[in-house]
Amino acid sequence: MKVHLLHRARDFDFGADLPPGHEELIRDLELATLLQAMAAGLPVACLDVGDVRRIVAPSNHPFVARAGDDPGFAEALVRLARDEATRRAVGEANRGRARADFGLESICEPSGALFAGTAAEPAQ
């Protein structure tokens, strides 16, 4: 079993001044990493920050520790590490959720419908 620890970008000193609004970029990168892990069929042990709990599959919720709860996060990692069946089941649930709710089709279809409706309206 491999364990991947994904660090938050803000934990590192980039040695340069980041532009205003960089926190938003970093948050977007973190969410992209979460979605990539889910799409790869991986369970995720993480902290409950932002929309994480809303994004992961419901079966992954027991492995989302309160923000700032390092012992709870460590315990979630240990529980996942010790239970291969749970890792596989949660990973597959995450893959399904990523495809159904965050895949290209689920994102493009509403946008396409919006643009189609806008294009059908007469110009003012």
Dump pLDDT digits (tens) for 107-119: 666 566 666 666 5
Percent of the chain with pLDDT over 90: 48
Q: Check: CB of residue 4 under 8 Å from CB of residue 34.
A: no
Q: How many CA atoms are closer than 13 Å to the CA of 21, on its beta-carbon side?
A: 0
Task: Report if residue 6 sits inside a domain.
Answer: no
Q: Residue written as tokens 């239970």?
A: 83
Nearest partner of 37 among 26, 48, 45, 25, judged by Cα: 45
Q: Which domain holds residue 114?
A: 23-120
Please report, to the nearest 10 degrees, the dihedral formed by the alpha carbons of residues 27, 32, 38, 42 taken in order.
-80
Task: Report if residue 16 sits inside a domain.
Answer: no
Task: Report if residue 71 sits inside a domain.
Answer: yes
- Domains: count for the chain: 1
Please report, to the nearest 10 degrees, the dihedral formed by the alpha carbons of residues 95, 97, 102, 108 taken in order.
110
Nearest partner of 34 among 23, 25, 45, judged by Cα: 45
Task: Report if residue 64 sits inside a domain.
Answer: yes
Q: Is the pTM of this model over 0.75?
A: no
Query: Which of the pair, 28 or 35, is modelled with greater confidence?
Result: 35
Q: Check: CB of residue 62 under 8 Å from CB of residue 46.
A: no
Dig out the tokens for 6 from the structure. Answer: 């994904």
Chain mean pLDDT for the chain: 80
Task: Report if residue 17 sits inside a domain.
Answer: no
Task: Report if residue 11 sits inside a domain.
Answer: no
| d(C-alpha 67, C-alpha 8), whole Å | 13
Query: pLDDT value at position 10?
Result: 47
Q: Which helix (H) or strand (E) holds 43?
A: none
Give yes or no for residue 86 having a pLDDT over 70: yes
Query: pLDDT value at position 32?
Result: 85
Mean pLDDT, range 48-71, rounded to an integer: 93
